[in-house]
Amino acid sequence: MVIEAARFRPNDPDPLVRASFACSLCLREPSAATVDHGPDGATVLCRCAGCETTWTVALDLEQELRLELRPPWRGMSTVLRHH
């Protein structure tokens, strides 16, 4: 499985943060993002409903905190889950 490192900074606006999680095939927002918390950060398993594909994005601790404090998909259909 491909693991990409997220490239956003914690103080980036939501659209930039969301860009780190976009589907690499169709650029859609993931339909579901499941956060798996680890000791050095988190990995986010993303699923695209359009392509039926999944991918994983790795976050450092600051990025993980940003996702928790200010989820970038508010008001969107993306389902954010914590494992």
Phi and psi dihedrals of 16, rounded to 5?
-70, -40
Give CA–CA dist 43/38, Å, rounded: 8
Find the part of the chain contacting Zn ion (CB under 5 A) among 8-16, 23-31, 37-45, 74-82.
23-31
Binding test (CB under 5 A) with Zn ion, winner from 5, 50, 68, 77 = 50
Give CA–CA dist 82/44, Å, rounded: 9
Binding test (CB under 5 A) with Zn ion, winner from 5, 26, 76, 79 = 26
Find the part of the chain contacting Zn ion (CB under 5 A) among 2-10, 49-57, 60-68, 70-78.
49-57
